[in-house]
Structures are given as C-alpha cells and as structure tokens.
C-alpha cells in the first residue's frame, strides 16, 4: 500500500444503549485505493460509515478522514468527502440541471464553476436531451450515475458510496464501476459498500464485517487463498456461516 492514508480508523466503537453496533474496529485505507466494505445487513456497515462521514458521533475510538479527526473536525471532513447513499440522493422534483446547481451551491462552488461542471458532466454522461427533465422521470441507472457525478462536484479526495448499485441492471453496474475506476485512477479514494460479491472482486482490498467486528481484511486474491475458495461469494458465506 501507499504510504499516505486517506482513512485511518482506530478502535472505533458505537453503542446504541446496550447494543454494540460497531465493535472496536481498526483499519486503514490508502490514498487512491478502492476499498470494499462488506457485511450482511445489520452487521454495522452503515453505522461505521456514518461515523466516518461525520454525521454520527463515535462512542469511543478515533477516526481520521482526509487527515481530519471525525470527532473534533467533522466540518473539515465533510468538505473533503463526497457521499452517495443507498437511497437515491437527488431530488426527483428538480431537473438534472437544478440538482447540479443546488448541490454545487451548497458546497460553495462559484456560479461559473457550476456552469462548467454541469457542461462537463452532461457531455460525459451524454444527457444533452435530458438536462432539463425532472430527475424523477429518468431510469434508476441513469439517476445513480448522475448522483455519483453530483457527489464529485466539489472535487472531494475521498468518495463514500453506500450500496450505489442496488437495484441497477448489470450493464449499468458495469458502467458505474468504470466510473469508479476512472476516479480512482485520478487519485481519489473510493470507500464502497456493496452486497454484490462480483463487485467485491473489483476492489483493491475488502473488509468483511460480521456482527460489528471486522472479521477479514485483505485483497480479494489473498482472502480467497486464505479460505481456500474460488470466489468472494464463498469467502463471504464462509465467514458469515462460521459465526452462526
């Protein structure tokens, strides 16, 4: 791995009352890495991610994102990251253009910059005819691509994607991952959660969370070798089953 770390997590814990949602996890994500954050539903992925993006306060432990502490410096963290959630993150009753203008605006982009970015984004996604259509009328796959591009508007160093390809067809998923790779090649760090194990294979490294703990963390290749199986799917099942 590269020397510089985009994300550095130490003994991060989140309790909700007596329930430990995230149990003492530690890991590092290098700059420019595509980091897969896997786990079954309810394993604590979303909670962990929320702490990293600064909207949930950790109970104990620490985390640095883009060099800023999430506890004491959440505002700087927010400026350096892009976020796209599993639920659709644009406004359906606004047009593509209005969405871009709005999100550009709340990240403090200049008008001219927004205009330039809008043009770039539209060219890139080939949405010339749709730019003034309400987002709600677009197919899901397109929406997600637009949402991803919008989360990049303010040029963040790290992009958090929470199940970005849920419910999207395989071709669009493939295109989506091409977009992810392009950003990673541009030096951006990608932190992505997914339920699709084929997508896990695309990641540089993956961690697998089970019941609030990180049970495995390595490259897909090493993980498969360690558990003596031929796919990430089997790695995942093996880990999840061991616990049950």
Q: Interface with other proteins includes 91 (CB under 8 A)?
A: yes
109-138 positions binding other proteins, by CB under 8 A: 134
By the 10 Å C-beta count (0-12 exposed, 13-18 middle, 19+ buried), 126 is classed as exposed
Q: Interface with other proteins includes 85 (CB under 8 A)?
A: yes
DSSP string, the chain: --SSEEEEEEEEEEEETTEEEEEEEEEEEETT-EEEEEE-TTSSHHHHHHHHTTSS--SEEEEEETTEETTT-HHHHHHHEEEE-SS--S-TTSBHHHHHHHHHHHTT--HHHHHHHHHHHHHHHT-TTTTTSBGGGS-HHHHHHHHHHHHTTT--SEEEEESTTTT--HHHHHHHHHHHHHHHHTT-EEEEE-S-HHHHHHSSEEEEEETTEEEEEE-HHHHHHHTT-SSHHHHHHHHHHHH-
Choose which of 15, 20, 88, 218 interacts with other proteins (CB under 8 A).
88
Q: Interface with other proteins includes 243 (CB under 8 A)?
A: no
The stretch among 2-10, 95-103, 177-185, 199-207 that binds other proteins (CB under 8 A) is 95-103
Residues that contact other proteins, how many (by CB under 8 A): 29
Residue 6 or 200 with smaller CB distance to other proteins: 6
CB of 224 to other proteins, least distance (A): 34
Q: Of 68, 48, 89, which is closest to residue 156 (Cα–Cα)?
A: 68
CB of 136 to other proteins, least distance (A): 10
CB of 163 to other proteins, least distance (A): 12
Q: Interface with other proteins includes 35 (CB under 8 A)?
A: no
Q: Interface with other proteins includes 232 (CB under 8 A)?
A: no
Choose which of 71, 79, 115, 213 interacts with other proteins (CB under 8 A).
79
The stretch among 25-33, 81-89, 210-218, 222-230 that binds other proteins (CB under 8 A) is 81-89
Q: Interface with other proteins includes 108 (CB under 8 A)?
A: yes
Q: Interface with other proteins includes 94 (CB under 8 A)?
A: yes
Report the interface residues with other proteins, using CB under 8 A.
53-57, 75, 78-79, 81, 83, 85-94, 98, 101-103, 105-108, 134
């Amino acid at each position: 791995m590269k020397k510089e770390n985009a994300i550095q997590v130490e003994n991060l814990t989140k309790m909700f009352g007596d329930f430990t949602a995230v149990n003492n996890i530690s890991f590092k994500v290098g700059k420019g890495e595509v980091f897969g954050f896997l786990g079954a539903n309810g394993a604590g992925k979303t909670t962990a991610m929320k702490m990293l993006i600064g909207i949930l306060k950790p109970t104990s432990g620490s985390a640095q994102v883009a060099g800023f502490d999430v506890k004491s410096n959440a505002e700087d963290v927010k400026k350096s990251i892009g976020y796209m959630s599993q639920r659709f993150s644009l406004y359906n009753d606004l047009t593509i253009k209005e969405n871009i203008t709005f999100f550009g605006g709340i990240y403090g982009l200049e008008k001219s910059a927004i205009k330039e970015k809008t043009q770039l984004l539209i060219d890139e996604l080939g949405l010339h005819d749709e730019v003034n259509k309400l987002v709600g009328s677009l197919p899901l796959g397109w929406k997600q691509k637009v949402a991803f591009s919008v989360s990049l508007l303010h040029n963040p160093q790290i992009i958090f994607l929470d199940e970005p390809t849920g419910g999207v067809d395989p071709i669009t998923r493939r295109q989506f991952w091409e977009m992810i790779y392009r950003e990673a090649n541009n030096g951006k760090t990608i932190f992505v959660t997914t339920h699709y194990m084929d997508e896990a294979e695309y990641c540089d490294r993956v961690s697998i969370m089970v019941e609030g703990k990180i049970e495995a963390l390595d490259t897909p290749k090493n993980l498969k070798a360690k558990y003596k199986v031929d796919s990430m799917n089997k790695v995942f099942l093996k880990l999840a089953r061991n616990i049950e």
